[in-house]
Amino acid sequence: MALTLEANTEEVWDLETYMEFLSRNVDVPDEASVAASAEGLKRLANNRSFLREIIHKELLEWRDFQTQNSYTAQTMVLARGENCFVRANIWMPPSQVPGMRQQEDDLFLYRVPHDHNFTFLTAGYWGSGYETEIYEYDAEGLAGIPGETVELRFLERTRLDCGKLMLYRAGKDIHSQHHPEEFSISLNLMITPPDLGLREQYFFDLEEEKISSFVSSGISGRAILCHIAGHVGDDETCSILEEIVERHPCPRTRTESVRAMSRLLPSEEERLWRRALEDEHPHVRFAAEHQIEGRSDL
Protein backbone atom coordinates (compact mmCIF):
# COMPACT_ATOMS: atom_id res chain seq x y z
CA MET A 1 0.00 0.00 0.00
CA ALA A 2 0.99 3.67 -0.16
CA LEU A 3 3.25 4.06 2.85
CA THR A 4 3.21 6.68 5.57
CA LEU A 5 6.84 7.00 6.62
CA GLU A 6 8.31 8.07 9.93
CA ALA A 7 11.16 10.59 10.10
CA ASN A 8 11.39 12.49 13.38
CA THR A 9 14.56 14.43 12.65
CA GLU A 10 14.64 18.18 13.37
CA GLU A 11 17.78 18.72 11.28
CA VAL A 12 17.44 21.36 8.54
CA TRP A 13 18.93 21.06 5.05
CA ASP A 14 19.06 23.43 2.12
CA LEU A 15 18.11 22.26 -1.37
CA GLU A 16 21.71 21.81 -2.52
CA THR A 17 22.51 19.53 0.42
CA TYR A 18 19.40 17.49 -0.26
CA MET A 19 20.27 17.04 -3.96
CA GLU A 20 23.78 15.90 -3.02
CA PHE A 21 22.24 13.42 -0.59
CA LEU A 22 20.01 12.03 -3.36
CA SER A 23 22.93 11.57 -5.74
CA ARG A 24 24.76 9.49 -3.13
CA ASN A 25 21.91 7.52 -1.58
CA VAL A 26 19.03 6.94 -3.98
CA ASP A 27 19.16 4.12 -6.52
CA VAL A 28 16.36 5.12 -8.88
CA PRO A 29 15.11 1.63 -9.85
CA ASP A 30 15.11 0.53 -6.19
CA GLU A 31 11.87 1.51 -4.47
CA ALA A 32 13.32 0.56 -1.09
CA SER A 33 16.15 3.06 -1.45
CA VAL A 34 13.64 5.79 -2.31
CA ALA A 35 11.67 4.98 0.84
CA ALA A 36 14.86 4.91 2.89
CA SER A 37 15.68 8.44 1.75
CA ALA A 38 12.56 9.88 3.41
CA GLU A 39 14.53 11.41 6.26
CA GLY A 40 16.38 13.55 3.73
CA LEU A 41 13.11 14.98 2.39
CA LYS A 42 12.00 15.62 5.95
CA ARG A 43 15.20 17.64 6.57
CA LEU A 44 14.44 19.74 3.50
CA ALA A 45 10.82 20.21 4.61
CA ASN A 46 12.15 21.41 7.98
CA ASN A 47 13.70 24.37 6.14
CA ARG A 48 10.98 27.00 6.39
CA SER A 49 12.74 29.59 4.23
CA PHE A 50 14.26 27.78 1.24
CA LEU A 51 11.07 27.82 -0.87
CA ARG A 52 10.52 31.52 -0.22
CA GLU A 53 14.11 32.19 -1.34
CA ILE A 54 13.51 30.25 -4.57
CA ILE A 55 10.31 32.21 -5.20
CA HIS A 56 12.23 35.47 -4.71
CA LYS A 57 14.78 34.35 -7.29
CA GLU A 58 12.07 33.32 -9.76
CA LEU A 59 10.27 36.64 -9.35
CA LEU A 60 13.47 38.58 -10.01
CA GLU A 61 14.11 36.49 -13.14
CA TRP A 62 10.49 36.58 -14.29
CA ARG A 63 11.34 36.56 -18.01
CA ASP A 64 12.66 32.99 -17.64
CA PHE A 65 10.15 31.85 -15.02
CA GLN A 66 9.88 28.01 -15.02
CA THR A 67 10.68 27.76 -18.74
CA GLN A 68 11.61 24.06 -18.37
CA ASN A 69 8.41 23.22 -16.48
CA SER A 70 5.85 21.28 -18.54
CA TYR A 71 3.44 20.87 -15.62
CA THR A 72 0.38 22.98 -14.82
CA ALA A 73 0.44 26.20 -12.83
CA GLN A 74 -0.02 24.04 -9.73
CA THR A 75 3.61 22.87 -9.89
CA MET A 76 7.03 24.49 -9.48
CA VAL A 77 10.11 22.47 -10.44
CA LEU A 78 12.80 23.24 -7.84
CA ALA A 79 15.81 21.13 -8.84
CA ARG A 80 16.77 18.25 -11.14
CA GLY A 81 19.07 15.32 -10.45
CA GLU A 82 19.94 12.14 -12.33
CA ASN A 83 16.65 10.37 -13.10
CA CYS A 84 14.80 12.41 -10.49
CA PHE A 85 13.64 15.91 -9.69
CA VAL A 86 12.16 17.87 -6.79
CA ARG A 87 9.01 19.94 -7.13
CA ALA A 88 6.58 21.93 -5.01
CA ASN A 89 2.86 21.38 -5.59
CA ILE A 90 0.29 24.05 -4.70
CA TRP A 91 -3.10 22.98 -3.34
CA MET A 92 -5.94 25.52 -3.28
CA PRO A 93 -9.29 25.54 -1.48
CA PRO A 94 -12.25 25.29 -3.87
CA SER A 95 -13.09 28.42 -5.80
CA GLN A 96 -16.00 30.50 -4.55
CA VAL A 97 -17.10 30.85 -8.17
CA PRO A 98 -19.25 27.76 -8.87
CA GLY A 99 -18.43 27.68 -12.57
CA MET A 100 -14.71 27.46 -11.82
CA ARG A 101 -14.83 24.42 -9.57
CA GLN A 102 -15.16 21.78 -12.28
CA GLN A 103 -12.36 23.45 -14.24
CA GLU A 104 -10.13 23.30 -11.15
CA ASP A 105 -10.97 19.65 -10.60
CA ASP A 106 -10.04 18.81 -14.20
CA LEU A 107 -6.89 20.94 -14.31
CA PHE A 108 -5.42 19.97 -10.94
CA LEU A 109 -6.86 16.43 -10.76
CA TYR A 110 -9.01 17.03 -7.71
CA ARG A 111 -11.50 14.17 -7.23
CA VAL A 112 -10.04 12.42 -10.30
CA PRO A 113 -8.78 8.94 -9.30
CA HIS A 114 -5.44 8.18 -10.96
CA ASP A 115 -2.26 6.20 -10.50
CA HIS A 116 1.30 7.18 -11.37
CA ASN A 117 3.80 5.57 -13.70
CA PHE A 118 6.62 6.62 -11.36
CA THR A 119 7.35 6.22 -7.67
CA PHE A 120 7.45 9.40 -5.62
CA LEU A 121 7.93 10.66 -2.08
CA THR A 122 5.80 13.51 -0.82
CA ALA A 123 5.96 15.70 2.28
CA GLY A 124 3.45 18.20 3.63
CA TYR A 125 5.27 21.54 3.71
CA TRP A 126 2.73 24.31 4.25
CA GLY A 127 -0.85 24.46 5.47
CA SER A 128 -3.19 21.73 6.61
CA GLY A 129 -2.83 19.79 3.34
CA TYR A 130 -5.20 18.05 0.96
CA GLU A 131 -7.16 14.91 1.82
CA THR A 132 -6.86 11.84 -0.36
CA GLU A 133 -8.57 8.48 -0.75
CA ILE A 134 -6.05 5.74 -1.49
CA TYR A 135 -6.69 2.47 -3.31
CA GLU A 136 -4.38 -0.33 -4.38
CA TYR A 137 -4.41 -2.47 -7.51
CA ASP A 138 -2.18 -5.00 -9.23
CA ALA A 139 -1.15 -4.03 -12.76
CA GLU A 140 0.44 -7.41 -13.49
CA GLY A 141 -1.42 -9.21 -16.25
CA LEU A 142 -3.64 -6.24 -17.14
CA ALA A 143 -3.97 -5.30 -20.78
CA GLY A 144 -4.18 -1.64 -19.72
CA ILE A 145 -7.19 -0.83 -21.92
CA PRO A 146 -9.85 1.79 -21.03
CA GLY A 147 -12.96 -0.09 -19.91
CA GLU A 148 -10.94 -2.98 -18.50
CA THR A 149 -12.10 -4.26 -15.10
CA VAL A 150 -9.57 -3.79 -12.29
CA GLU A 151 -9.75 -5.22 -8.77
CA LEU A 152 -9.44 -2.22 -6.44
CA ARG A 153 -8.74 -2.41 -2.71
CA PHE A 154 -9.61 0.63 -0.59
CA LEU A 155 -6.81 1.38 1.86
CA GLU A 156 -7.50 4.64 3.65
CA ARG A 157 -8.56 8.27 3.54
CA THR A 158 -5.82 10.48 4.94
CA ARG A 159 -4.55 14.04 4.99
CA LEU A 160 -1.09 15.19 3.92
CA ASP A 161 -0.65 17.60 6.79
CA CYS A 162 2.50 19.59 7.48
CA GLY A 163 5.47 17.30 8.16
CA LYS A 164 3.78 14.07 7.02
CA LEU A 165 5.75 11.84 4.63
CA MET A 166 4.26 9.34 2.19
CA LEU A 167 5.57 7.03 -0.54
CA TYR A 168 3.45 6.29 -3.61
CA ARG A 169 4.43 3.25 -5.66
CA ALA A 170 4.45 3.22 -9.46
CA GLY A 171 1.59 1.27 -10.99
CA LYS A 172 0.19 0.14 -7.63
CA ASP A 173 -1.32 3.05 -5.71
CA ILE A 174 -4.37 5.02 -6.86
CA HIS A 175 -5.43 8.22 -5.16
CA SER A 176 -8.26 10.71 -5.45
CA GLN A 177 -7.30 14.07 -3.98
CA HIS A 178 -9.72 16.57 -2.45
CA HIS A 179 -9.41 20.33 -2.03
CA PRO A 180 -7.66 21.41 1.18
CA GLU A 181 -9.37 23.69 3.64
CA GLU A 182 -6.61 26.26 3.23
CA PHE A 183 -3.74 27.11 0.90
CA SER A 184 -1.22 24.26 1.16
CA ILE A 185 2.07 23.15 -0.37
CA SER A 186 3.63 19.72 -0.69
CA LEU A 187 7.20 18.81 -1.65
CA ASN A 188 7.73 15.85 -4.00
CA LEU A 189 10.74 13.76 -4.89
CA MET A 190 9.81 12.48 -8.35
CA ILE A 191 11.59 9.36 -9.61
CA THR A 192 12.01 9.35 -13.39
CA PRO A 193 13.77 6.16 -14.56
CA PRO A 194 14.96 5.91 -18.17
CA ASP A 195 11.99 3.74 -19.18
CA LEU A 196 9.38 6.18 -17.80
CA GLY A 197 8.22 7.09 -21.31
CA LEU A 198 7.19 3.46 -21.88
CA ARG A 199 4.92 3.20 -18.83
CA GLU A 200 1.22 3.97 -18.93
CA GLN A 201 -0.65 6.05 -16.36
CA TYR A 202 -4.41 5.70 -15.92
CA PHE A 203 -7.57 7.39 -14.71
CA PHE A 204 -10.00 5.07 -12.92
CA ASP A 205 -13.76 4.76 -12.40
CA LEU A 206 -13.97 3.73 -8.75
CA GLU A 207 -17.66 2.81 -8.81
CA GLU A 208 -17.33 0.55 -11.84
CA GLU A 209 -13.81 -0.59 -10.86
CA LYS A 210 -12.51 0.01 -14.36
CA ILE A 211 -9.75 1.90 -16.14
CA SER A 212 -11.57 4.94 -17.54
CA SER A 213 -8.85 6.47 -19.75
CA PHE A 214 -5.16 7.10 -20.23
CA VAL A 215 -3.43 10.05 -18.60
CA SER A 216 -1.88 12.24 -21.28
CA SER A 217 1.84 11.45 -21.64
CA GLY A 218 4.61 10.92 -24.14
CA ILE A 219 2.90 7.65 -25.06
CA SER A 220 -0.24 9.60 -25.95
CA GLY A 221 1.86 11.82 -28.20
CA ARG A 222 3.23 8.79 -30.06
CA ALA A 223 -0.29 7.37 -30.39
CA ILE A 224 -1.53 10.61 -31.97
CA LEU A 225 1.46 10.64 -34.34
CA CYS A 226 0.59 7.10 -35.48
CA HIS A 227 -3.06 8.13 -35.90
CA ILE A 228 -2.05 11.03 -38.14
CA ALA A 229 0.27 8.76 -40.11
CA GLY A 230 -2.64 6.40 -40.77
CA HIS A 231 -4.50 9.21 -42.53
CA VAL A 232 -1.75 10.98 -44.49
CA GLY A 233 0.85 8.23 -44.99
CA ASP A 234 2.10 6.32 -48.02
CA ASP A 235 4.20 3.21 -48.73
CA GLU A 236 7.23 4.69 -46.97
CA THR A 237 5.07 5.39 -43.91
CA CYS A 238 4.05 1.72 -43.84
CA SER A 239 7.71 0.65 -43.87
CA ILE A 240 8.43 2.88 -40.88
CA LEU A 241 5.34 1.65 -39.03
CA GLU A 242 6.31 -1.95 -39.73
CA GLU A 243 9.61 -1.43 -37.96
CA ILE A 244 7.83 0.14 -35.00
CA VAL A 245 5.46 -2.84 -34.78
CA GLU A 246 8.43 -5.22 -34.74
CA ARG A 247 10.81 -3.32 -32.48
CA HIS A 248 9.21 -0.62 -30.33
CA PRO A 249 9.19 -1.51 -26.59
CA CYS A 250 5.90 0.31 -25.85
CA PRO A 251 2.81 -1.91 -26.39
CA ARG A 252 0.35 0.96 -27.03
CA THR A 253 2.73 2.40 -29.63
CA ARG A 254 2.85 -0.99 -31.36
CA THR A 255 -0.95 -1.21 -31.24
CA GLU A 256 -1.44 2.23 -32.78
CA SER A 257 1.13 1.43 -35.46
CA VAL A 258 -0.87 -1.66 -36.44
CA ARG A 259 -4.03 0.45 -36.48
CA ALA A 260 -2.37 3.04 -38.75
CA MET A 261 -1.06 0.36 -41.13
CA SER A 262 -4.53 -1.18 -41.29
CA ARG A 263 -5.96 2.15 -42.41
CA LEU A 264 -3.25 2.59 -45.06
CA LEU A 265 -3.48 -1.04 -46.24
CA PRO A 266 -7.15 -2.02 -45.89
CA SER A 267 -6.69 -5.23 -47.88
CA GLU A 268 -4.09 -6.33 -45.29
CA GLU A 269 -6.12 -5.39 -42.22
CA GLU A 270 -7.08 -8.90 -41.09
CA ARG A 271 -3.57 -10.24 -41.60
CA LEU A 272 -2.04 -7.38 -39.62
CA TRP A 273 -4.37 -7.82 -36.65
CA ARG A 274 -4.01 -11.62 -36.65
CA ARG A 275 -0.27 -11.18 -36.48
CA ALA A 276 -0.80 -8.80 -33.54
CA LEU A 277 -2.54 -11.66 -31.70
CA GLU A 278 0.94 -13.14 -31.25
CA ASP A 279 2.39 -10.04 -29.56
CA GLU A 280 4.00 -10.62 -26.16
CA HIS A 281 1.90 -7.96 -24.39
CA PRO A 282 -1.80 -8.39 -23.48
CA HIS A 283 -2.54 -4.77 -24.49
CA VAL A 284 -1.74 -5.51 -28.14
CA ARG A 285 -3.46 -8.91 -28.09
CA PHE A 286 -6.59 -7.43 -26.50
CA ALA A 287 -6.80 -4.71 -29.17
CA ALA A 288 -6.29 -7.30 -31.91
CA GLU A 289 -9.10 -9.50 -30.55
CA HIS A 290 -11.46 -6.51 -30.53
CA GLN A 291 -10.62 -5.58 -34.11
CA ILE A 292 -10.99 -9.14 -35.40
CA GLU A 293 -14.35 -9.45 -33.62
CA GLY A 294 -15.46 -6.28 -35.38
CA ARG A 295 -15.49 -4.08 -32.30
CA SER A 296 -14.30 -0.48 -32.74
CA ASP A 297 -14.87 0.82 -29.20
CA LEU A 298 -11.18 1.09 -28.24
pLDDT digits (tens, 9 = 90+) for 210-226: 999 998 888 888 999 99
- Rounded CA gap, 270 and 263, in Å? 11
3-state secondary structure of 59: helix
pLDDT tens track for 15-29: 999 999 999 999 887
pLDDT tens track for 119-152: 999 999 999 999 999 999 988 879 999 999 999 9
- Rounded CA gap, 187 and 33, in Å? 18
Rounded (to 5) percent helix, strand, coil in the chain: 40, 25, 40
**Residue 44 pLDDT more than 50?**
yes
Q: Is the separation of the CB atoms in 145 and 13 below 8 Å?
A: no
- Rounded CA gap, 261 and 229, in Å? 9
Domain positions in the chain are: 3-214, 218-292
Dihedrals φ, ψ of 98, to 5°?
-50, -40
What pTM did the predictor assign? 0.85
Tell which CATH classification among 3.40.1030.10, 2.60.120.10, 3.40.50.720, 3.40.50.300 matches the domain 3-214.
Answer: 2.60.120.10
Q: Which of 183, 161, 157 is nearest to 94 (CA)?
A: 183
- Rounded CA gap, 157 and 175, in Å? 9
3-state secondary structure of 7: coil
**Residue 41 pLDDT more than 90?**
yes
Q: Is the separation of the CB atoms in 91 and 186 below 8 Å?
A: yes
Specify the pairing of strand 184-191 against strand 173-178: unpaired
